[in-house]
Structure 1
């Protein structure tokens, strides 16, 4: 018998806007923070690389802590929903402070960067992880959960496009040539919007389906379930690889256009072509009905890799038309990949419930875990390789650094797409769906 749909459009839109809220800040962090630290704030590439590693190591622990906190939360609002209310304000405060440039010496500025960036990482996890953990409690209808995941990613990807295209123009508009002021005022604007959207999510969404006898199991029981949850392990690795790929390419984009093409103003234009990710996201509902989630994501990885290959060739010969077109194709594939992440994580949560354990907090933490580790490794790879090649901020780059920029922007992401495809091949979707449907 077909299950009825439990959510109405106001709740669906509000759920989707939660990801839009987080991405206003998150995309500033992933795309422009390394550039801000090296070329505006004044950190060396080696100091930035170490900071990213420390922050991501901390975030790995924080993801697990927040996951356990969700699974241990008892409130009249549910397990995940209260986190939108409690942590939205400190999240946007730390987001703003991260882009403050205090008049300190080099040591003081480094300490400030550590405190603000580590704080931002913790509170980002506290408001982002619940978006994934709450999903399987909103409905029991598989197609409705897919729709909710697609709506979430549509809004998230739309905001990614907004940040990618409008950040640098806003920095120029607010800063009037002063990038320190420009970045600070831009993140302040994004933070205010983010705060309103996160609180709106708290008031509009509702946790409906929970199994009290399964919801607060001992960690030893949860750990035993995790070891048997093969789909969760596979999708966790894929998420990590995806964000590693994204971090390396996104962080290098501005360097490629500034130092190899000598035209930083082209960055918003090339980023504008990433709107094609919305096409991939929209295709998910129809594609998953026809070929399933695993094959849809595999198709997305293949499309993204084809686009990345075209981008690599375009980057080598410095052909803007090819770079723009390849970015368009690559983004369609990325939309298919990232749009399915929260949906497939929700499936692994439901798979865990078929084993008698409802641990949506810990299982959903794999999403933030993958994001944090991927971004950390991406920042380390990018900043570390730049440092080894002799990168000098705001100067003409030597030949080794130019090659390193192209490697990060074009070729490393291509290899990582191939690895993603191989790992996802082992995702056992048939066993997972059989267990969920029998539960």
Structure 2
């Protein structure tokens, strides 16, 4: 007969069911995002719309997308149902997949203006509304289904590994499927096929990920009975709560810098291999070395448990910085390029793995310090920061290429363009990695939370 776990045992135990549900949600969202990323190609090569017009539609959509993060966070913080705070938003996944199908079902009989309006509406419903609600709520879902720090780290590590592997497989298979289905009807059937997988995964996630109740959280000492200020907060209150949370302010600032660096080296990659090294095919070969880091994922939770999430993140920043600095000097030597790129790949490993855990600890700090439980808005803030950083990095890259006199119409680029591309792809990320190594240690939120919890328990006794 299976032993019935006590509440304390259940709270500390790693739940494979929760982890699978959480990973499925993240994985299928990645599946949808990859498909939706082809909307420009679908619009120009299947619907025969102007590249400029569809580009303008998507540009306006991204502005709207950033704003909705904060609205979604406030909505989640005000939600209280018998299913919990974040779990109801898992069901938004069904609406998300309906909107994905709608994007790729643009009526052919519409005029070009009508098609652009259809794509604008469905794309914004998909990304700015439904995907934002899912993205902001998933961190709150993790926090309320997995209350143990160590169990959350294991869940995040498992999710990151599975999603990374799935993304690589999808990135290989999807172009082949598109090549065979590049007609309006073909795109529609492709989207429906993906939606079936997505809806099944959404249902599994909803039934696997069950939140601890408010009473259970109180019994575990994670909530204080009758303290629920989060349902009454205005946006001004949210702003004050975040400003008073020094660790969240520091983390968001550092996260923004890290994401700016990521946007630059991701955007500059094609330029570096085609212009500086003169061989774009090297990019595919070098990208394969990322597979070599995957066997390390199972040991990451043990390392994090030993040295803590902050020190783990600092270590990966430093290793990555060394890799980027080395790659700036190796030229097109394939062996050295692969070795340096392998180490460069560690730059964001830490923040990608434990970023949500740090955000959750910042949520707890706000509650323990000020009695304010603002969960959704904290996840929304990191989501907004990411989107803003990606937009700003694109603008910065365009500006830097411009002042370096890069001209895509020319077969040979000036030395200034080569230097600038190397700066964006290697030097800036290396400098950011070193900067993060020294500054990230200021986020002592885990230690501070332990002191606050100890003081709270002493008061109750």
TM-score of the superposition, structure 2-length normalised?
A: 0.77
Matched residue SS, 1:206: coil
Contact 1:171 1:185 in 2 (8 A): no
Whole-Å separation in 2 of the counterparts to 1:213 and 1:421: 37
Structure-2 change in CA distance of 1:369 and 1:91 (3 Å)? farther
* Residues 226-237 of structure 1 aligned to structure 2 (within 5 Å): 226-237=242-253
Whole-Å separation in 2 of the counterparts to 1:208 and 1:343: 18
Q: C-alpha displacement at 1:436, in angstroms?
A: 4.1
* Residues 283-432 of structure 1 aligned to structure 2 (within 5 Å): 283-314=299-330, 317-354=331-368, 355-386=370-401, 389-392=405-408, 396=411, 398-399=413-414, 403-429=419-445, 430-432=447-449
Q: Deviations along 1:184-238, whole A, 9 cap, x unmatched?
A: 9887765554443233212210110435632423235544432221222222223
Q: C-alpha displacement at 1:4, in angstroms?
A: 2.1
Whole-Å separation in 1 of the counterparts to 2:337 and 2:302: 29
Matched residue SS, 2:376: helix
Whole-Å separation in 2 of the counterparts to 1:101 and 1:158: 35
Q: Aligned residue for 1:5?
A: 10
Q: C-alpha displacement at 1:174, in angstroms?
A: 3.7
Structure-2 change in CA distance of 1:73 and 1:397 (3 Å)? farther
Q: Deviations along 1:104-134, whole A, 9 cap, x unmatched?
A: 9998887777656544431322111111112
Structure-2 change in CA distance of 1:242 and 1:27 (3 Å)? farther
Contact 2:273 2:283 in 1 (8 A): yes
Which moved further from structure 2: 338-347 or 403-412?
403-412
Whole-Å separation in 2 of the counterparts to 1:337 and 1:401: 31
Whole-Å separation in 2 of the counterparts to 1:238 and 1:383: 23
* Residues 157-176 of structure 1 aligned to structure 2 (within 5 Å): 157-163=164-170, 166=172, 170-172=174-176, 174-175=178-179
Q: What is the number of residues matched between the two proteins?
A: 430
Whole-Å separation in 1 of the counterparts to 2:270 and 2:39: 11
Q: Aligned residue for 1:152?
A: 159
Q: C-alpha displacement at 1:273, in angstroms?
A: 2.3
Whole-Å separation in 2 of the counterparts to 1:349 and 1:160: 30
Q: Which has the higher contact order (CA 8 A, sep 6+)?
A: 1
Q: Deviations along 1:302-330, whole A, 9 cap, x unmatched?
A: 1111122223224xx22332222222212
Matched residue SS, 1:75: coil
Report the structure number with the largest CA radius of gyration. Answer: 2
Contact 2:272 2:422 in 1 (8 A): yes
Contact 1:256 1:409 in 2 (8 A): yes
Whole-Å separation in 1 of the counterparts to 2:275 and 2:97: 34
Whole-Å separation in 2 of the counterparts to 1:401 and 1:92: 44
Residue 209 (structure 2) pairs with residue 205 (structure 1)? yes
TM-score of the superposition, structure 1-length normalised?
A: 0.80
Residue 257 (structure 2) pairs with residue 251 (structure 1)? no
